[in-house]
Amino acid sequence: MSSPASARLDRFRRARRDRDLAVIEGFHALKHALRFDAEILEAICAEPQQLQELASELAPDLGGRLMALAHPVEPELFAQLAPRAARTGVIALAKRTHPSFSAVLTDHADAPIVLLEQPRDLSNVGACVRVAAAAEAAAVIVTGRHDPWHADAIRGAAGLHYALPVLWCQEVPASDRALVALDPAGEEIGLREIPPRAVLAFGSERRGLSQELLAQATHRVRIPMRAGVSSLNLATSVAAVLFALRLAATDRGREPSR
């Protein structure tokens, strides 16, 4: 018969391969997951005193929810629950969300969708999810072989996968949205020329966007950079575009109506 400790280790190990589950490592990721209504199945902490202090200082809005959820275990067991144990001493299992592509693509709100074509670096994917959530993008869609719900991506996103739809596919279904390719070799155009509800496509860290995607794009746009600089980092370019659009929309909202 397995002990409770080995059963717990086994659940965390299996969860890393389960497409319905998410492993949430660290205080900030768990804090955001709770704020955005993740269904937490199990939470484990190594140092209840430290968790209590973090919760009181950084997440008073969660009241006692974090402490009520977190089950204390010995530090030796905690260290085995993740390849790199979270310094903040907490880890959790939660259900993933499975939003529908058609609901996301047909949504009529003005917010853009971020499409990441075959990204290679999971921390970059996480950083893109984090900034997309902050800028209130409609969704993040990821193609390629890297699961955007991998624990490293969730850690990079500080748990903000629960704040907006994050979808994984190999081919993005067609929709009525404009497809805007973000490409260092694109044209410099005004923000007003980027239509609302666009799918903003960003390429992989090494190769950029594929020829197939560039051929389908309705616009090919460049973020202006100083001469001699080849490109921005993937997550930095997502942040630049989303916040430029968001600030432009805020400015338009402030313009006096004529």
Contacting residue, 232, 244, 246, 248, with ligand SAM by CB under 6 A: 232
Give CA torsion, residues 85, 89, 95, 98, to 10 deg: -70
Nearest residue (beta carbon) to ligand SAM: 208
SS3 20: coil
The yes or no reply on residue 225 touching ligand SAM (CB under 6 A) is: yes
Piece in contact with ligand SAM (CB under 6 A), picked from 14-22, 78-86, 190-198, 218-226? 218-226
The yes or no reply on residue 156 touching ligand SAM (CB under 6 A) is: no
Cα separations in angstroms, 251 against 132, 169, 204, 244, 245: 20, 35, 32, 11, 10
Task: Find all residues with CB under 8 Å of 135, minimum gap 6, and list them.
Answer: 239, 242, 243, 245, 246
Residues of this chain, 164-203, that bind ligand SAM according to CB under 6 A: 182-184, 202-203
Piece in contact with ligand SAM (CB under 6 A), picked from 35-43, 149-157, 225-233, 246-254? 225-233
The yes or no reply on residue 162 touching ligand SAM (CB under 6 A) is: no
The yes or no reply on residue 70 touching ligand SAM (CB under 6 A) is: no
Closer by beta carbon to ligand SAM, 224 or else 256: 224
Cα separations in angstroms, 92 against 4, 46, 146, 159, 163: 16, 12, 21, 11, 17
Residue 141 bridge partners (DSSP)? 115, 167
- Residue whose pair of structure tokens reads 């080849």 in the numeric block: 230
Min dist. Cβ of residue 181 to ligand SAM (A) = 7
Whose CA is closest to 149, among 28, 54, 24? 24
| Residue 250 identity | T
SS3 256: coil
Closer by beta carbon to ligand SAM, 9 or else 232: 232
The yes or no reply on residue 205 touching ligand SAM (CB under 6 A) is: yes
The yes or no reply on residue 120 touching ligand SAM (CB under 6 A) is: no
Piece in contact with ligand SAM (CB under 6 A), picked from 30-38, 49-57, 104-112, 204-212? 204-212
Binding site for ligand SAM (CB under 6 A): 182-184, 202-203, 205, 208-209, 222-223, 225, 231-234, 237
